[in-house]
Amino acid sequence: MASQEPGPDEMSYQGDHVDFRWSRIGLVTGKEQHDHLDRPQATVNSLPAAPVAFAGRGAVLDKILPVLNPDSDDLDTNRLPICVISGPKGIGTSALAKFASHLAVNKGWFPGGALYVDLQSHAKDPLTDNDALLVLVSPLGVQGAELMSMIPVARYGYYRDCLAQRPGRTLIVVDHVVRASQVELVMPGEDRHCVLVTSRGGLPDLDAHEFRLRALDQVAACEVLAALVRIGDAHEKRAETEPEALRDLAELCAGVPRNLRDAATGLRQNRDITIEEYVHLLRDRLAPQRMPGALENEPPPGRRKRSPFMNWRRSS
């Protein structure tokens, strides 16, 4: 059977797919091949949500943001693409890292987006280096099995190559780092991209800008408490009507954000008591202990110390 030949217009067809319309080869079996390893996505974002009711880190943000800003000229002579946010547990290092990262991405400083990994170093089963790498590369469309079939050195080389091919500047966020080597492994090969890291103890042997966090001041601590207590109840007025008791509570929490969160949860669990009552009862409960936020008597890894602020009932 004679095949129909294409007309002059159709001959000039420039489509980018295989065109079988004029073929004489009969049945054709097509095979689709997805080459994930070669196709880094243009924009990624695996950042967890920024914390709600975030407050009180303006001064340190003023120092971190210029490091992330590609147009900042403050640091031209000594630009290091790594920021470390450090501080004792519960002080808010992860919260600040997430907040600053979202801010930087939203400002358009990272058109390639952000990659995030939580190493869970203080949990019972911290991530292995391999798992951390897999978490970082999976939003890029990389197939884990293929990556893991490479020898370790090649895996990191491949990861850096993926980053090098990205058209947009990308932020890499590594939460809960304990050793500088964990950061060094996932450093991009070029300083176009940036790395933001959190670490309780700090990483003095890493060439990085390090920012050590302290407790929130009283104004910020009260702001956080007031915002959190209001969550879930539009009629909640205790923070407004008891400013002095609110300040006492912020002081009892020693300005440590995790304590403030727990205290707010305690108040939400007990909507029928005043803040003054709550403070009074907390003082009794805290009396035999050291102030919250102390680093002594750490619970075993993966187990969180029972918070004195929560699970409290008027009858207890």
Instruction: List residues near Mg ion by CB under 5 A.
Output: 94
Nearer to ligand ATP, 111 or 308 (CB): 308
Nearer to ligand ATP, 193 or 258 (CB): 258
128: Cβ–Cβ under 8 A, 6 or more apart, which residues? Answer: none
For residue 95, state whether it binds ligand ATP (rule: CB under 6 A): yes
For residue 102, state whether it binds ligand ATP (rule: CB under 6 A): no
* Residue 265 three-state SS: helix
Is residue 106 within 8 A of residue 49, CB to CB? The reply is no
Quick one: what does residue 245 bind among ligand ATP, Mg ion, none, with the CB cut-off 5 to 8 Å set by partner type? Answer: none
Q: Which range touches ligand ATP (CB under 6 A), out of 41-49, 66-74, 82-90, 282-290?
A: 82-90
Taking each helix axis from N to C end, the angle separating 243-252 and 218-230, rounded to the nearest 10 degrees, works out to 110
Quick one: what does residue 81 bind among Mg ion, ligand ATP, none, with the CB cut-off 5 to 8 Å set by partner type? Answer: none
Residue 90 CB, shortest distance to ligand ATP, in Å, is 5
- 254-283 residues near ligand ATP, rule: CB under 6 A: 257-258, 261
Nearer to Mg ion, 152 or 302 (CB): 302
Residue 17 CB, shortest distance to ligand ATP, in Å, is 49
* Residue 44 three-state SS: strand
Kindly write out the interface string for residues 217-236 of this chain, putting x where it contacts ligand ATP by CB under 6 A and - elsewhere: -------x------------
H helical segments located in 166-305: 180-185, 218-230, 238-241, 243-252, 257-269, 275-286
For residue 57, state whether it binds ligand ATP (rule: CB under 6 A): yes
- 180-219 residues near ligand ATP, rule: CB under 6 A: 200
Quick one: what does residue 48 bind among Mg ion, ligand ATP, none, with the CB cut-off 5 to 8 Å set by partner type? Answer: none
Label residues 100-122 b or e (16+ Cβ within 10 Å = b): bbbebbeeebbebbbbbbbbbbe
Residue 288 CB, shortest distance to ligand ATP, in Å, is 24
Nearer to ligand ATP, 62 or 272 (CB): 62
Residue 97 CB, shortest distance to Mg ion, in Å, is 8
**264, two tokens:** 């707010």
Residue 127 CB, shortest distance to Mg ion, in Å, is 14
Label residues 45-83 b or e (16+ Cβ within 10 Å = b): bebeebbebbbbbeebeeebbebbeeeeeeeeeeeebbb
Residue 190 CB, shortest distance to ligand ATP, in Å, is 29
Query: Count of CB atoms within 10 A of residue 34's CB?
Result: 9
Kindly write out the interface string for residues 131-170 of this chain, putting x where it contacts ligand ATP by CB under 6 A and - elsewhere: ----------------------------------------
Is residue 167 within 8 A of residue 161, CB to CB? The reply is no
| 40/137 Cα distance (integer angstroms) | 9
Q: Residue 37, class by beta-carbon neighbours within 10 Å (0-12 exposed, 13-18 middle, 19+ buried)? A: middle
The torsion angles phi and psi of 212, rounded to 5 degrees, stand at: -95, 125
Share in percent of the chain as helix, strand, coil (round to 5): 40, 10, 50
Quick one: what does residue 192 bind among ligand ATP, Mg ion, none, with the CB cut-off 5 to 8 Å set by partner type? Answer: none
Query: Count of CB atoms within 10 A of residue 274's CB?
Result: 14
Residue nearest to ligand ATP (CB): 92
Q: Which stretches of the chain bind ligand ATP, using CB under 6 A?
A: 51, 53-57, 87, 89-95, 176, 200, 224, 257-258, 261
